[in-house]
Amino acid sequence: MASADQLINAFTTLLVTIDPPGLAPIFLGLTTGMSRSQRTQVALRGSTIAFITLAVFALFGSSVLGVLGISIGAFRIAGGLLLFWIAFEMVFERRQERKEKASEAAVTKDHIENIAVFPLALPLIAGPGAISATILLAGTLPTSVEKAQLIAVIAANLLLTLLMLLIADRLDRFLGVTGRAILTRLLGVILAALAVQFVVDGAKAALNLISATPH
C-alpha cells in the first residue's frame, strides 16, 4: 500500500504536468463553433483516451524501460530534467504559447471530429511531461496494489481535467489573463521542486547501483 504522502505527491505531480486550468482556454479555441453537447463529447472522448494512455504507461512503462536496458534511476534523472524544462516554460509563460501553436496547427490539418484524439488527448493532456511523470511514479510504486492506487490517482486527475474542460468558458472568464498567469507560474515553481526531487532520487539510485556493482 502506498502512503498518503506518496499518493499526494503523485496527484500533485500529475496535476501540475497536465495543467487543467491551462487547458481551458486552448480547449475553447479548439472547439470554437461547437455546441455545448459537441464540446462535452470532445471533452469526454479526449479525457478517456488520455486516461487509457497514461494507465498503459503506468502498468507497462517500467517493463519497456527494462527491455531497453534503461535503469529507473537513469529515467528519473532524464524525466526530472524534462519536467524541470516544462516547469521553466510554465514560469516564463512559454509552455502556453507552444500548446496554442500545436492546437492551431492541428485544427488546420485534422477534421473537427478528430480533435478529441489529436491534439486534445495527445499531446495536450497526456503529453511527454505527463507520460514521463507517470512512468517515474510507477517506478516508485512497484506492487500491484500500488499500481492500482496510481491508476486511481490518474483517474482522479483526468476527472478533474474533464470537469475543467466542461466549465472551460466560465473558468476562463473567472481567472482572466492575470489569474491564469499567476496560477501557471505558481504551478511551475511547484513542478520545478518536484522535478529536482526526481533528479536527486535518480542520482541516489544510480550511485547505489554503481557502488553495488562488483569491481
The 10s digit of each residue's pLDDT in 131-179 is 989 999 998 888 999 999 999 999 999 999 999 999 988 887 887 878 8
Q: How far is 33 from 148, CA to CA, in rounded Å?
A: 39
CA 143 vs. chain centroid, Å, equals: 22
* pTM of the complete model beyond 0.75: yes
Which of these, 190, 196, 211, lies nearest to 91 by C-alpha position?
Answer: 190
Identify the three-state secondary structure at position 141: coil
Confidence of residue 31 (pLDDT cuts 50, 70, 90): confident
Q: How far is 48 from 105, CA to CA, in rounded Å?
A: 23
Confidence of residue 88 (pLDDT cuts 50, 70, 90): confident
Q: How far is 59 from 92, CA to CA, in rounded Å?
A: 33
